[in-house]
Amino acid sequence: MFELIIRDVVAEDIAAITAIYREAVLHGTASFELDPPDEAEMLMRMEAIKDAGFPYIVGVDDNNTLLGYAYASTFRGRPAYRWCCENSVYIDDKAQGQGVGGQLMAELIARCTKLGFRQMISVIGGAAHIASMRLHEKLGFYHIGKMPATGFKHGKWLDSVFMQLSLGEGADTDPDLDAYPGTLYRQKTKP
Ligand SMILES: CC(C)(COP(=O)(O)OP(=O)(O)OC[C@H]1O[C@@H](n2cnc3c(N)ncnc32)[C@H](O)[C@@H]1OP(=O)(O)O)[C@@H](O)C(=O)NCCC(=O)NCCS
């Protein structure tokens, strides 16, 4: 057993992140991408997420071997959505089923709550993706709907399953209208 250390992502993590995501793109349904992005593209995406003010975290063991990563990002871009984020979590095949995804997601939820986000949405690729649905259910996410046959990958149609978690005071109170949890929305231009 290993002790999981959770920390902010750094550029040096990108090779390992790219390798984990590559496996998920090539062999899984979580991502609807068909061609694995290279390290330069993954670095660019990571920097864009961080620049926008979202958390991007990694889990490493005590040898600093990267076991998985998680981040939040824009759910939809129009400004009224700005207290609502989407989550992503990917764990190395060899480290799955050992609590890494659960711990990373718990930390991501805590960070997003602290930043002022009120809702987190998970878009799960494929209604047969039991591991992801169970993980999110265990964290308190509930099912909010399904868009049937929205993807075609590995020779079959895939549903998109939506799950949601209320963060902090959720919809019980109005959000801080001056808060821009994702700095992306600082731009006050017409959307
Ligand atoms: C889904 C995924 C993130 C789960 O991460 P993980 O580290 O393997 O999960 P954990 O070990 O933390 O398990 C947490 C809970 O998830 C559920 N779970 C995880 N794997 C499961 C499986 N194969 N079957 C059923 N439930 C499973 C269980 O409820 C588990 O809690 P328990 O161990 O107390 O029963 C991981 O399998 C993964 O990276 N898959 C590929 C990418 C992906 O699907 N990402 C999600 C897209 S947003």
Tracing tokens 């002022």 back to the chain, one arrives at 116
Q: Residue 160 contacts by C-beta under 8 Å, 6 or more apart in sequence?
A: 123, 124, 125, 146, 147, 150, 151
- Return the best residue to mutate from 58, 86, 124, 135 for the ligand 1 pocket (most ligand atoms within 8 A of CB): 135
pLDDT at 185 exceeding the cut of 80 = no
For residue 132, report the distance from its CA to the centre of ligand 1, in Å.
5
Could you give the domains of the chain? 5-166 (3.40.630.30)
pLDDT at 189 exceeding the cut of 60 = no
pLDDT at 127 exceeding the cut of 70 = yes
pLDDT band at 191 (very low <50, low <70, confident <90, very high): very low
Query: Tokens for 112?
Result: 């997003």
Query: Tokens for 76?
Result: 């939809």
pLDDT at 138 exceeding the cut of 80 = yes
Phi and psi for 159 in degrees, rounded to 5?
-85, 155
> How distant, in Å, are the alpha carbons of 67, 155, 160 from that of 34?
23, 12, 16
pLDDT digits (tens, 9 = 90+) for 58-69: 999 999 999 999
- Return the best residue to mutate from 91, 103, 139 for the ligand 1 pocket (most ligand atoms within 8 A of CB): 91
What SS3 state is found at 5?
Answer: strand
pLDDT digits (tens, 9 = 90+) for 75-94: 998 888 999 999 999 999 99
